[in-house]
Amino acid sequence: MTRMTATTENRTFDSLNPATGGTVGTHPVHDAAAVRAAVGRASEAASWWAELGYAGRRARLLDYKAVITQNLKRIASLVHEETGKPEGDATLEIVLAITHLDWAARRAQRVLGPHRVASGLLGVNLAATLEYQPLGVVGVIGPWNYPVFTPMGSIAYALAAGNAVVFKPSELTPGVGLLLAELMRESVPEQPVFQVVTGLGETGAALASDPGIAKIAFTGSTATAKRVMTACAANLTPIVAECGGKDALIVDVDADLGAAADAALWGALSNAGQTCVGVERVYVVDAVYDEFLRELTGRARQVKAGEQYGPITMPGQLAIIERHIDAATAGGRTLLGGPESVRAPYVDPVIVADVPEDSPAVTEETFGPTITVKRVADTEEALAKANASAYGLAGTVFSGNTRRAMDLARRMRGGMTAINSVISFAGIPALPFGGVGDSGFGRIHGADGLREFARPKSISRQRFALPGMKLTSFGRGQAELDRLVKLVTFLHGRRKH
């Protein structure tokens, strides 16, 4: 939660504990001039950081990883205070962030460093080199739901690629952002390669429209992503956008139903459902539908808000969750909970079956601990329904048949699919993460995540002149052209069918 102070100059805002309403910290509202100054400092830092080279950056980032690990409890406790999530869940997200930081630091040179590529037969006299150079200053605009893991998916990869970072954390979790940057100064005291600016949406807007920003990495809602893109358009600043989702879980006829129910529940309810790749819809094939529902509701009765998961972090979200619960229960069959499950700031689990597919509870991102379950004839119908969404972030398939599961996973609309597990792709640093459609574009994590924060540089070097093949010269004659046509006809002129 956030509370603004009522002064006009030197404005500050408080980050509040969503469970208690108590003040966790007071932070400045950085205006466009303050953002400009931070980006200016970052610009100098970026040159120094790029000059350090891969080995220097790797050593410092691995040290930063160790510092974060040593401060795990302190960070987890602050995440708990600012978001309300249990410290165990906070620990899990920090551990995942650590593994990404480690991977990005170690792999950057291999993925981005100079390497020779084939120059082709027509370029036999050329040496071709490809390398990925840093962009400069990357602006990261982050969300509150995973205030360590999510921004670190951009920050770690942008830094490893040789950029400096200016991070604008969500107004709900500024303290966590500041702590991450403070810890970085222990590993890199020389230059401010990772700075934080705090404030509300307007501070993020100032970052997006700053001409010194080479790229924006945004995580948040689709509507805000569009506003950020509009701001970026003025300077032709590219963006990578990680937006929300309405992820589906498909249960096949031969799935382990206990495991599927367990995964559906954790995917939907953990972090109070405030997970961009959380499970929001479940499609179950007819033959196992009733048994799956028994497994699901039986387990769900053991889960309580305020015990296994925390409060709704953003107070404004409660109205959306309430609206979706009302819509779902009006059109479907309520299996667990209902409108009475909302007891602010907590929301107990809500499961509703047979909600019409055009209900907002099925089409819009709820970002709360709710699940809609639907009976389908077979996995083809499940897939068609899962894919009929404006969003396309991630999904899950539970099946006893690996071939069918892989086939469904490939055809599922979205950037990531987990099979017989939930959200498991997020913990594998080598796997890129990102969506399609309203879920955004571009990728963080993995080699693609490193390349997202670098620009390819192509260099062709002539090693020797090809005798009789001076093609890019006004001295070229007809004989050379004839030889070229002969060669290209030999190489490419034969039809195979």
Interface residue with ligand NDP, options 91, 170, 329, 420 (CB under 6 A): 170
Q: Are 336 and 299 in contact (CB under 8 A)?
A: no
Pick the piece of the chain touching ligand NDP (CB under 6 A) from 105-113, 164-172, 232-240, 344-352: 164-172
By C-beta, is 141 or 447 nearer to ligand NDP? 141
Interface residue with ligand NDP, options 147, 192, 244, 432 (CB under 6 A): 244
CB burial of 157-172 (b: ≥16 within 10 Å; e: otherwise) equals bbbbbbbbbbbbbbbb
Pick the piece of the chain touching ligand NDP (CB under 6 A) from 219-227, 300-308, 332-340, 418-426: 219-227
Could you give the CA distance from residue 40 to residue 55 in angstroms, rounded to a whole number?
Answer: 25
Pick the piece of the chain touching ligand NDP (CB under 6 A) from 22-30, 70-78, 201-209, 397-405: 201-209
By C-beta, is 50 or 232 nearer to ligand NDP? 232
Q: Is 208 in the site for ligand NDP (CB under 6 A)?
A: yes
Q: How far is the CB of 204 from ligand NDP (least distance, A)?
A: 2
CB-side neighbour CA atoms (13 Å) of 42: 31
What the block records as the tokens of 189 is 């005291």
DSSP E strand boundaries for 182-238:
194-196, 215-219
Sheet strand arrangement including 23-28: 2-4, 12-16, 23-28
Compute the chain's Rg from CA coordinates.
26
Give backbone dihedrals phi and psi of 43, rounded to 5 degrees, phi first.
-65, -45
Pick the piece of the chain touching ligand NDP (CB under 6 A) from 69-77, 168-176, 445-453, 482-490: 168-176
Total residues binding ligand NDP (CB under 6 A): 29
Q: Would you please indicate which residues are annotated as catalytic (active-site) residues?
A: 242, 276
Interface residue with ligand NDP, options 52, 141, 272, 373 (CB under 6 A): 141
By C-beta, is 120 or 211 nearer to ligand NDP? 211
Q: Is 270 in the site for ligand NDP (CB under 6 A)?
A: no
By C-beta, is 162 or 368 nearer to ligand NDP? 368
Interface residue with ligand NDP, options 84, 142, 273, 310 (CB under 6 A): 142
Q: How far is the CB of 350 from ligand NDP (least distance, A)?
A: 16
Q: Are 257 and 291 in contact (CB under 8 A)?
A: yes
Pick the piece of the chain touching ligand NDP (CB under 6 A) from 48-56, 214-222, 282-290, 373-381: 214-222
**Span 82-101, contacts to ligand NDP by CB under 6 A:** none
Q: Is 335 strand, coil or helix?
A: strand
By C-beta, is 319 or 459 nearer to ligand NDP? 319
Q: Is 17 in the site for ligand NDP (CB under 6 A)?
A: no
Q: Is 448 in the site for ligand NDP (CB under 6 A)?
A: no
Interface residue with ligand NDP, options 187, 195, 224, 341 (CB under 6 A): 224
Sheet strand arrangement including 454-462: 115-117, 126-134, 454-462
Give every CB contact of residue 476 below 8 A, 6+ residues apart in sequence: 470
Q: Are 324 and 350 in contact (CB under 8 A)?
A: no
**Span 274-303, contacts to ligand NDP by CB under 6 A:** 276
Q: Is 229 in the site for ligand NDP (CB under 6 A)?
A: no
What the block records as the tokens of 128 is 């071709």
Q: Is 389 in the site for ligand NDP (CB under 6 A)?
A: no
Give every CB contact of residue 426 below 8 A, 6+ residues apart in sequence: 96, 149, 277, 416, 433, 445
Q: How far is the CB of 266 from ligand NDP (least distance, A)?
A: 17
Alpha-carbon distances, residue 171 vs 25, 39, 391 (angstroms): 11, 19, 25
Q: Is 438 in the site for ligand NDP (CB under 6 A)?
A: no
Q: Are 133 and 450 in contact (CB under 8 A)?
A: no
Q: Is 361 in the site for ligand NDP (CB under 6 A)?
A: no
Q: Is 385 in the site for ligand NDP (CB under 6 A)?
A: no
Could you give the CA distance from residue 192 to residue 55 in angstroms, rounded to a whole number?
Answer: 19
Q: How far is the CB of 397 from ligand NDP (least distance, A)?
A: 21
By C-beta, is 35 or 284 nearer to ligand NDP? 35
Pick the piece of the chain touching ligand NDP (CB under 6 A) from 19-27, 170-178, 329-337, 380-388: 170-178
By C-beta, is 232 or 335 nearer to ligand NDP? 232
Q: Are 261 and 356 in contact (CB under 8 A)?
A: no
By C-beta, is 252 or 365 nearer to ligand NDP? 365
Q: Is 447 exposed, middle or buried (0-12, 13-18, 19+ CB in 10 A)?
A: buried
Torsion of CA 192, 193, 194, 199, to 10 degrees: 60
Interface residue with ligand NDP, options 36, 227, 404, 451 (CB under 6 A): 227
Q: Is 271 in the site for ligand NDP (CB under 6 A)?
A: no
Q: Is 317 in the site for ligand NDP (CB under 6 A)?
A: yes
Nearest alpha-carbon partner for 106 in 166, 151, 49, 63:
63
What the block records as the tokens of 252 is 């096949």
What the block records as the tokens of 110 is 């291999």
Q: What is the binding site for ligand NDP (CB under 6 A)? A: 141-145, 150, 168, 170-172, 200-201, 204-205, 208, 219-221, 224, 227-228, 242-244, 276, 314, 317, 365, 367
